[in-house]
Structure 1
Amino acid sequence: MHSPFRRTCVALSIPAVLLLTSCSDDGLGDTDALSGVDLHFTDDGAPEVILRSPLELEEEASRVLDRGDGEDLDEEQILEVSHAVADPSTGEIQEESFSQDNPSMIFLPQMQEQSEFIYESLTDTDLTVGSEIALFEPANAETGAAATLLVLRVEGQSPAFAEGEVQEQDGELPEIENEEGVLPELLGGNDGDAPEDVSTEVLIQGDGEEVAADDQVVVRYSGWKWSDGELFDSNWPADDEEADAGPAGFPLSNLVPGWAEGLEGEQIGSRVLMVIPPESGYGEADEDAEEGTQHELAGETLIFVVDLIASAEAPQAAAPAPAPEGQPELSEEDIEEMIEQMEAEQGGAEGAEEGAEGEDAGGEDAGNDDASNEDANEEETD
């Protein structure tokens, strides 16, 4: 089941605060050393960390504070995690996301690559959805990092691929080998004419929120060229890869237009087949273009299979700062008058400056003219 949250931001990357400065051996450390850590919440959902005594540990440690009553964690899924960073001496909250109702998304195999300590703390402690865990990292003299107390709550988990009802293809678009949780494959060639417009077909029907054209999305995807069936891009793991880098997250507005057109209105959890003509992809090829001035896929009709894992509204542009209190509001006439006055003052200053420059330039030019006249006289004498 995919996340019930309608996010205000989405990125499938490990938040910097979760990348502790781990430098010790594997393991969970002295769990009893964190027995004096308690987590409480205010009425508005903000966390409070209570310490019975300051934490003065020399090694990293983790401890489960509360075991949730949800499903067991799956090491291959995406975790949704709320966090708080607290001063390990006082418990004072320095940063938190609990009250924002917008958990971070963590792909556990990726976390294993980044921090073995956090990975083992999440996977070797029999955690379930709803569990809360404290992690301590001592100060690091080499990097100058201060000691850190991190508290996490697992809000949910979701598969790192499309999940839903597999659909039968109608034969209008290329045939895809389609199995939930498995790398999709393009079957056979494309002998017919490519569609002139963006064309889509749902291969797996999800039941999540609908995607908007200006959303950010987290996806698994593969892309082929219609012309020869060549796979040109994919973020599914290849057979020879040691680790799965996981899904990717980006705004649809950063991609070729065909993505937004093809995915708008589709539901999270779905797998969508898209065929994108050049005008909605990388543009038509220009035979006269200089080498390197156009995309290598220009002129190509593109085939994409996309697993929609999560979406979020794109960040809104920051509103202009309000005028300071007591500052008078200016009318359009006042503003125009001020602009005219500034232009007049600037013009006068430029005129005076040009005059001074003209005198200097005139002196130099005159010297050049004298030199030219001397050259001319010498030529006539010769």
Structure 2
Amino acid sequence: MRRRSLLLAAPVGLLSLAGCGDDSSGSDRGSPSAGTESPSSPPKATIVSGPLPEVTAGTGFGQKPTVAKGTGKPSGNLAVRTLIPGSGTAVGAGTFPQVNYLGQIWSTGKVFDNSYDRGRPSVFQIGVSQVIQGWDQGLVGKKEGSRVELAIPPELGYGEDGRPESGIQGTDTLVFVVDIVHVFTEKDAAKGRTVRQSDPALPRVGTKSDGRPPSITVPRADPPKKLVADYVIEGDGPKVKETDGVLVQYRGLLWDGGKEFDSSYAGGRPTALYLQRVGVKGWAQGLTGKKVGSRVLLVVPPSLGYGKDGYQGVPGNATLVYSVDILALL
């Protein structure tokens, strides 16, 4: 089980974006993207340049930092400073930055969370209240390749209740150092080794990696009775576990007639979802074991899709065809 990140702002966020997969109280019944939120507009914080504690070691981008304890009284505003400027894509509301980070308490210097020791960056959606507001507002506009330091007052962190189980009191200002490794946008796509599609009885999926919806051609034949989960492009990232969350781009078509009924491309951004919470069981079974960076053809029989009742835009007993680009683990 992967440790829950402390960045998540509320119990609902912990449930949907914690990556632990230990919630069994239902699933996202609709499309695989069910539950994805649109950018919201929380109250605007005043952003100042300091004070901020000194980073005393691990000062290079990607290095685990050591940060001094805060001295004096922290600002009541959101303090943000770019320690290392990047030149890549800027973080925007609704984008998914991939980051390494370390968080500690201003007054004590106690580290309460860091991704460096977990061995891989984390991915969060910014600007939709899925993380604490200090992140939602302090990281917008910062570019890929940047290292950013933030001092976040309680009202933009965990509020007056704090997180006592993590040693965070309701009066604590939080200090973060954040390395923005990548910013996932609608332009991201699978990249890897193209795998030959030689079975004429299966749909053919386009292999262009230009961020546009890939073509899907469904044959005029009876659909397979069992789940199909085949590589179209095989990436070289880690394998997806059944308890993982994934960041994906996808299209969904009906086998009968080839009509598109669902697509993340239509929303203009990738979709974050957790395999144990997706209503289409064929996703959980088909993507488990596949590598990050891959494009996968899923052919989902009714028993692993929407069954005899169907769902919005999907008739009962429909076989579903998906192209899924696995961009990252959450």
TM-score between both structures, scaled by the size of structure 1: 0.57
1:151 positional shift: 1.4
Comparing 222-231 with 182-191, greater Cα deviation is found at 182-191
Equivalent residue for 2:271, pick from 247, 272, 281: 247
Equivalent positions of 1:295-374 (< 5 A) are 295-296=310-311, 297=314, 298-311=316-329
Distance 1:301 1:180 in 2: 26
Q: Please tell me whether the aligned partners of residues 198 and 258 of structure 1 are also in contact (alpha carbons under 8 angstroms).
A: yes
**What amino acid sits opposite 1:136 in the alignment?**
A
Q: Please tell me whether the aligned partners of residues 145 and 180 of structure 2 are also in contact (alpha carbons under 8 angstroms).
A: no
**What amino acid sits opposite 2:8 in the alignment?**
P
Equivalent residue for 2:197, pick from 166, 169, 174: 169
Distance 1:221 1:108 in 2: 21
Is 1:24 aligned with 2:45?
yes
- Return closer, same or farther for 1:174/1:94 CA change in 2, 3 Å cut-off: same
1:77 positional shift: 6.1
**Matching residue of 1:63:** 81
- Return closer, same or farther for 1:281/1:151 CA change in 2, 3 Å cut-off: same
**Matching residue of 1:74:** 89
1:134 positional shift: 1.9
Equivalent positions of 1:120-139 (< 5 A) are 120=141, 122-123=142-143, 128=145, 131=147, 133-138=148-153
Q: Please tell me whether the aligned partners of residues 139 and 148 of structure 1 are also in contact (alpha carbons under 8 angstroms).
A: yes
**Matching residue of 1:348:** none
Q: Please tell me whether the aligned partners of residues 310 and 317 of structure 2 are also in contact (alpha carbons under 8 angstroms).
A: no
Distance 2:282 2:8 in 1: 30
Q: Please tell me whether the aligned partners of residues 78 and 107 of structure 1 are also in contact (alpha carbons under 8 angstroms).
A: yes
Equivalent positions of 1:182-201 (< 5 A) are 182-187=211-216, 190-201=219-230
1:253 positional shift: 6.8
Distance 2:111 2:3 in 1: 21
1:272 positional shift: 0.5
**Matching residue of 2:257:** 228
1:215 positional shift: 4.5
**Matching residue of 1:360:** none
**What amino acid sits opposite 2:75 in the alignment?**
L
- Return closer, same or farther for 1:99/1:40 CA change in 2, 3 Å cut-off: same
- 3-state SS of 2:265 partner: coil
- 3-state SS of 1:259 partner: helix
How many matched pairs?
271
Distance 2:205 2:4 in 1: 29
Percent of residue pairs identical: 23
- 3-state SS of 1:95 partner: strand
**Matching residue of 1:278:** 302
Deviations 1:140-178 (A, max 9, x none): 59x757462321232743755322234453344223344
**What amino acid sits opposite 2:273 in the alignment?**
G
**Matching residue of 1:8:** 2
Distance 2:54 2:81 in 1: 9
Q: Please tell me whether the aligned partners of residues 220 and 248 of structure 1 are also in contact (alpha carbons under 8 angstroms).
A: no
Q: Please tell me whether the aligned partners of residues 45 and 137 of structure 2 are also in contact (alpha carbons under 8 angstroms).
A: no
Equivalent positions of 1:70-149 (< 5 A) are 72-75=87-90, 78-87=97-106, 90-93=107-110, 95-98=112-115, 100-101=117-118, 103-107=121-125, 115-120=136-141, 122-123=142-143, 128=145, 131=147, 133-138=148-153, 140=155, 146=171, 148-149=173-174
Distance 2:116 2:263 in 1: 36
- 3-state SS of 2:68 partner: strand
Q: Please tell me whether the aligned partners of residues 202 and 270 of structure 1 are also in contact (alpha carbons under 8 angstroms).
A: yes
Q: Please tell me whether the aligned partners of residues 243 and 274 of structure 2 are also in contact (alpha carbons under 8 angstroms).
A: no
Distance 2:287 2:155 in 1: 46
Distance 1:51 1:22 in 2: 29
Equivalent residue for 1:263, pick from 287, 299, 323: 287
Comparing 107-116 with 182-191, greater Cα deviation is found at 107-116
1:305 positional shift: 0.9
1:188 positional shift: 5.2
Distance 2:281 2:275 in 1: 11
1:236 positional shift: 2.6
Contiguous gaps of at least 5 residues in structure 1: 1-6, 286-293, 313-382
**What amino acid sits opposite 1:180 in the alignment?**
S
Is 1:49 aligned with 2:67?
yes
**Matching residue of 1:150:** 175
**C-alpha RMSD over aligned residues:** 4.1
**What amino acid sits opposite 1:273 in the alignment?**
L
1:224 positional shift: 1.3
- 3-state SS of 1:262 partner: helix
**What amino acid sits opposite 1:280 in the alignment?**
L
Q: Please tell me whether the aligned partners of residues 258 and 280 of structure 1 are also in contact (alpha carbons under 8 angstroms).
A: yes
1:226 positional shift: 1.0
Q: Please tell me whether the aligned partners of residues 197 and 276 of structure 1 are also in contact (alpha carbons under 8 angstroms).
A: yes
Contiguous gaps of at least 5 residues in structure 2: 14-39, 161-169
Distance 1:172 1:93 in 2: 59
Higher helix share: 1
